[in-house]
Chain A
Amino acid sequence: MKGQVVGKLLRASTVGYVVGCRLSQIDVPSLGALVIVPLKKNYSVYGLITDIHIDDDGLVRQLVLSEQIAPEIIADNRQNRNVPVEISVLAVGFQQGDTVSHLLPPRPPLSLDTIYICEYPEIVRFTGNGHFGYFRHILRGVDYPIPEILAAHLQQAQAAHSNMDDSGWLELATQELITLLRDDYQMLMNVLGALADMNVKM
């Protein structure tokens, strides 16, 4: 089930892609959120938001030097000026026909494909399938804060599962993380610390 539009694809590879949207659409995406790119019939690519990046420009750098910025000027820069928000997405799986896979997608999405936020049923469908195979894509990352991404994702997925009367998902997910990180004590502590900070109920 497709949710709100996050934006359109700027560039992609099989391991991830970057989505662009206007600053006025910034309320839609959130860190760690599961997104979907519906491609051809019965083929979709899943991803997890790992970074939301807002670029500056010369005028913005000048404006921040002002003692006071009028609300009209702030609104002008947010709504009218061409300031794209770049959203980095990690590829975490795909859906082919009725099958959901936690392997990397065979083909990346293409430029200007539309990216949607996953609604609860879609989140449950993806995260409840298989045995948390997509965690290894997240844990492989080097250029984003793994514990924070995991905590945000787990919180969102747990909400979706609870909504569908599945209260045991988070415990299974945490156990899987502990297993995967058994040889990386530092990362395990960081992940568990992040989960505690985000008040995820065990």
Chain B
Amino acid sequence: MPFNYIDINHQLPEYCEKVENVRRLVSTNIDLANMRLTEGAKNQDRAIEQILEAGKNNQKLRCALPGEEAMNSIFPPSNAGFSGVLIATDGSQANSSRHARIEFSAINISAVILEVNSGEAPLIRTKSELIMPDDLLEENSFETDSHVALLRDLKERLFSADLARDIDKQVIILIDGGLELYRELSATSQYEKVLKQYREVYEDLYSQKVLYSGFIDKPGSKLVVSMLQVLSGEDISNDNSTFRLSDRKLFSKILKQPGSRSAIFSIQSHQTPNFVDEMATHFFYINTSHTEEPNIARIEIPAWVARECELVNLIHSVILKQCAIAGNVPYPYLIHRAHEEAIVRFEESNQLETIILNALIERGVYIDEKSGKQTLKDLERRKGMKP
């Protein structure tokens, strides 16, 4: 059934008014946060001490930590030339459902390998993997979708590292999303295993001197804003904080010049013990727009890249060039292409289910029926009705 539009219509005026109020509040907060950022930069060493001290006292603190660049710095667009190879990988998955005739999960990873200025079409490589049932059995139930997603992320990184190994030119790997994994309180042994493998992949890339960076589009994080809260002596869990806004909103106001980037920050956190030293995640914000309307993305890089100005400029330049390809949509072309190649659609997942069922039936394995719930959901509907 569709929404009850009469109900929605009654609620719309209040909703719009509240959106306007929040916008006004955010606008005021941006100005305050910007002022605090400027003040913090005047005595940056003291600010760093303050954040480290707060980190010692609060194990849950997760905020930005400035480095050598002044925290309110703005760097113009980089034009650094790059003539190596770009690799973007993305993955997709078919999740198991207990309502289906057979519970199965599968991962599909695609990589797009582009040799810059070669004039040649990029190479596409795809790897598909059925998740073996014994990997997923836990308390007689299949593991959650989030674990499969975790495996997918790991496989994406492993695949890019494998591909980079065979290339004798400089390689930059573009990753869709962040570089690190957080340690959840409910972390299982499987999770710890994946975390360790993550670290090993990054170490492998470091030893090969393969540059890699994570691209987070329209980020919702508050790492810099939380840092400003700490510097203002506020409790970061305070819901009535002066700084109720995201980093993206703040940097939309700061990085007005298309292509400009912020200072590089590291992350003050006790939740990512596997990402320290050379692998410690650093980040900067970047305005990827080529118009007056800013489009803020967060770029994550490892410490060993963040320390080298030339490498940072290279990443900055490559990201901007990638974001300029798809017309007025400032998103890295290659990451989009990897997504396009990797995505598993509903029909394709159904087709895979049929293949698995046929293979099991051939071996005489007993197959369950679909759940009643799913059977009724799958009944053919009258024309015009949508599920």
A residues engaging B (CB < 8 A)? 59, 61-66, 69-73, 75-76, 78-81
Those 7 A-B pairs whose CB atoms lie nearest each other, nearest first: A65-B327, A75-B121, A71-B119, A62-B327, A79-B121, A62-B326, A76-B121
- Is B120 an interface position by the 8 A CB rule? yes
User: In the assembled complex, how far is the CB of residue A40 from the closest CB belonging to chain B, in whole angstroms?
Assistant: 30
Q: Using an 8 Å CB-CB cutoff, how does the interface string of B42-68 with A read, 1 for contact, 0 for none?
A: 000000000000000000000000000
In the docked arrangement, what's the CA distance between A64 and B326, Å?
A: 8
Q: Is the interface of B mostly helix, strand, loop or mixed?
A: loop
Indicate if B32 sits at the interface (CB-CB under 8 A): no
**Chain A nearest Cβ from B102, distance in angstroms:** 29
B279 interface residue, CB < 8 Å from A? no
Nearest-Cβ distance from residue A83 to partner chain B, whole angstroms: 12
Task: From the candidates A61, A63, A71, name the one contacting B325 in the complex (CB within 8 A).
Answer: A63
Using Cβ atoms and an 8 Å threshold, which residues of chain A touch B326? Answer: 59, 62-63, 66
B122 and A72 within 8 A (CB): yes
**What is the bound-complex CA distance between A65 and B329, given in angstroms?**
10
- What are 22 residue pairs bridging A and B, where the CB atoms are less than 8 Å apart in the complex? A59-B326, A62-B327, A64-B327, A66-B324, A66-B327, A69-B325, A70-B117, A70-B325, A71-B119, A72-B114, A72-B117, A72-B119, A72-B120, A72-B121, A75-B119, A75-B120, A76-B121, A76-B122, A78-B121, A80-B122, A80-B124, A80-B337
| Nearest-CB residue, chain A, relative to B321 | A70
Q: Which residues of A contact B341 (CB under 8 A)?
A: 80
- Determine which residue in A59, A61, A72 has the highest number of CB atoms from chain B within 10 A of its CB, and name it: A72
Complex alpha-carbon distance, A69 and B119, angstroms:
11
Flag if A65 contacts B325 (CB, 8 Å). no
- Distance between Cα atoms of A80 and B124 in the complex (Å): 8
Name B115's contact: one of A61, A69, A72 (CB within 8 Å).
A72
Residues of chain B within 8 A (CB-CB) of A78 are 121
B284 within 8 A of A: no
Task: Kindly report which residue of chain B lies nearest to residue A71, judged by CB atoms.
Answer: B119
B380 → chain A, closest Cβ, in Å? 23
- Chain B CB count within 10 A is highest, among A70, A71, A78, for A70
A65, B119: Cβ atoms under 8 Å?
Answer: no
Residues of chain B within 8 A of A64, CB atoms compared? 327
Chain A residues whose C-beta falls within 8 Å of the C-beta of B117 in the assembled complex: 70, 72
Which one of B115, B325, B328, B329 lies within 8 Å of A73 (CB-CB)? B325
